[in-house]
Structure 1
Amino acid sequence: MPKTDTQAKRLRALLAEDRLRIMPCCFDALSARLVEQAGFPLTFMSGFAVSAARLAVPDTGLISVTEMIDQGRNICQAVDIPVIGDGDTGHGNPANVRRTLEQYAAAGFAGIMIEDQVAPKRCGHTGVKEVVERAEALRRMRAAVDAREAGADLVIVARTDARSALGLDEALWRLNAFADLGADVLFLEAPRDETEMARFCDQVPGIRMANMLEDGITPLLPPERLNALGYRIAAYPLTLLSCAVRAMQTALDDLAQGRTPTNRTRFSELRQLVGFDAYDALLDRYADSD
């Protein structure tokens, strides 16, 4: 049901609290609902995970903005918690960036991430070698902020992949510039060690996000350490997808061996998760009293 506060306003209130928020990332409506039911107050629609789950293709710009928005609309309708969407490069020039924000806001997102890679982009932990020039990166961010101020009410997560392409100093320069332009959240992708993570938090003002990708480039730090460094969000982009894939592989192996998988959700719980009980209760309200 519609709420008095916008999702973006609710997200800003969460991020205004002086504490680290753990943010498991989702890839479809069902995974988003599981995040919500587990008690997490926000989630993020991962571009890598959506590309994998929806198309079984790598996160290299092969999925279209239309497909991302369609997936995001389903996710946002399935949950009440704020959802941040992966907006990649903004999908073109500054006019495209503005329209991308308008479309994400209309789909029900609370926030959007915009990055400075060249198009087509790729997962930041798979060897990013190119980002756009400074001027183009700033144009993208100005366009995003202008769209927000014009009514596309979204929390803007400004991401740079310059650490991998050009080095840490350039990445920090860009993040400070994004903060000056009005980005809400700053995201340094793929720092190599805790020292670099600490330098980011010390030298870039505002709300900072960490990316905790298992087996990725960035060290996996416990939440208490991330909080002490100065991070406000800890995103786990592929945890749910990776665990789901492993669970399905195990179940398929059981079936191939003639066994019924035992590590599964009971059918009664699955029915409740997708809303069968609520659906039947709704129909009962309209049953003929005769």
Structure 2
Amino acid sequence: MTQASRLRALLAEDRCHIMPCCYDALSAKLIAQEGYALTFMSGFAASASRIGAPDLGLMSYGEVVDQARNICDAITIPLLADGDTGYGNAMNVRRTVTGFAKAGAASVMIEDQLAPKRCGHTPGKAVVGRNEAFDRIRAAVDARTALQEEGGDMLILARTDARHEHGLSEAIDRAARFAELGADILFVEAPRSEAEMREVCAALPGPKMANIVEGGATPDLPNDVLRDIGYSIAAYPLTLMAAAMQAMVTTLRGMRDDSRTDLMDFGELRRRIGFDDYYATSERYDTSKRET
């Protein structure tokens, strides 16, 4: 069963999946260890983690795919990857989809922002015209079809940020066209109220994703409400990074006074990283411990 098939099966369930977002292999591994069924590589968090810079189109295609590959190597749950604007024209979008599939991702997100893109909950967003937006999704779907003809698979997560500049109706119209073009999952970014979220889900077919940024534009609703509204996935792109950064800053400040509280036990830290599994497996190749 491919990762794309696993993701399709999850989306067929009558529920809203809580999806903590990762930013590197370790954060993804912790998500999987805690029993979550899927994760998303947040572009915001990956940019902060990998290059220590904001998510303003500074990471290259190669860097993002490499980050996704490392994550996929560390987990067995489906990864949804952030493909930004596709890194160029429609042909670049095709390469982006194929590259993430080869890296092991189950899905890739393609959006309609102008390049360089911005985080969906920060100022200065602008979107391309309808025709260019539709061409990106058409190219992504064509790349998926080519993958399937060769025995591969990939889900297309189509995102629109049109709500910010052009209003909710334009965002819904774009997402509806994305679905007609063959997108598997729809993502209308930054609706500003529960009523807007309900309007989005009522108007659009198929699986929809909510993006919950603590302190962002979209209401932070309980999971049962999100399911009732009609979402299949609730993504939390910055929760883990915000928690990790807060813990690190608190610890760094405390170390000045010889205080190091709330640390993970060294034994659990080793286990979660994989030392115990490594040593157990490596014993199979220790001739001194094998029976003769």
TM-score (norm. length: structure 2): 0.96
Unpaired runs of 5+ residues, structure 2, are: none
Identical residues among aligned pairs (%): 58
Q: Distance in 2 between matches of 1:107 and 1:227?
A: 31
Residue 184 (structure 1) aligns with:
184
Matched, 1:213 2:209: no
2:47 to 47, 51, 66: 51
2:287 is paired with a residue of what secondary structure? coil
1:9 to 2:18 alignment: no
Give the partner amino acid of 2:283.
Answer: D
Shift in CA distance, 271/176, structure 1 to aligned 2, threshold 3 Å:
same
Counting only pairs closer than 5 Å after superposition, residues 120-269 of structure 1 correspond to structure 2 as 120-151=116-147, 153-259=153-259, 261-269=260-268
Contact 2:118–2:125, Cα closer than 8 Å, also in 1: no
Q: Is the CA contact 2:212–2:236 (under 8 Å) kept in the aligned structure 1?
A: yes
Supply the distance in 1 between the matched residues of 2:112 and 2:96 (Cα, whole angstroms).
Answer: 15
Q: Which amino acid aligns with 1:257?
A: D
Deviation at 1:155, TM superposition (A): 1.0
Please, what is the CA RMSD of the aligned residues? 0.9
**Structure 2 letter corresponding to 1:286:** Y
Whole-angstrom CA distance in 1 between matches of 2:282 and 2:74? 20
Q: 2:36 aligns with which of 30, 34, 40?
A: 40
- How many residues matched? 285
C-alpha displacement of 1:253: 1.0
Structure 1: how far apart are the matches of 2:162 and 2:135?
Answer: 16
**2:69 matches 1:69:** no
- CA distance in 2 between counterparts of 1:108 and 1:168 reads 34
Residue aligned with 2:127, SS: coil
Give the C-alpha shift of residue 154 in structure 1: 1.1
Distance 1:256 1:217 in 2: 37
The residue number in structure 2 matching 1:95 is 91
> So what's the TM-score if we normalise by structure 1?
0.97
Q: Is the 8 A contact 1:212 1:237 kept in 2?
A: yes
User: 2:280 aligns to what?
Assistant: 281
Aligned-partner SS, 1:221 = coil
> 1:153 aligns to what SS in structure 2?
coil
Aligned AA for 1:267?
F
Q: Does 1:31 align with 2:57?
A: no
Q: CA deviation at 1:181?
A: 0.5
The reply on whether 1:107 has 2:103 as its aligned counterpart is yes
Secondary structure of the residue that 1:10 maps to in structure 2? helix
- In structure 1, distance between residues paired with 2:219 and 2:168: 16
Deviations 1:161-214 (A, max 9, x none): 000021111101000000111100000101111111010011111111000110
Q: 1:179 to 1:128 in 2, by over 3 A?
A: farther
SS of residue matched to 2:281: helix
AA at the equivalent of 2:160:
T
Return the alpha-carbon distance in structure 2 between the equivalents of residues 45 and 69 of structure 1.
10
Match of 1:84 among 73, 80, 85: 80
Q: Which SS does the other structure have where 1:207 is aligned? A: coil
Alpha-carbon shift at residue 254 of structure 1 (Å): 1.1
Q: Is the 8 A contact 1:172 1:203 kept in 2?
A: yes
Q: Structure 1 segments of 4 or more deviating over 6 A?
A: none
Shift of 1:258: 2.1
Matched residues in 2 for 1:234 and 1:26: separation? Answer: 14
Q: Deviations over 1:223-261 (max 9, x none)?
A: 0110101110000000000000000011101101222x1
**8 Å Cα contact 1:127-1:164 kept in structure 2:** no
Preserved CA contact (<8 Å) 1:128 1:161:
no
8 Å contact kept, 2:158–2:178: yes
Asked if the contact 1:157–1:184 (Cα under 8 Å) also holds between the matched residues in 2, the reply is: yes
Deviation string 1:115-145 (CA, Å, 9 cap, x unpaired) is: 0000000001002431000000000000000
- Which segment is superposed worse, 278-287 or 130-139? 278-287
Amino acid aligned to 1:141: I
- Tell me the SS of whatever aligns to 2:19: strand
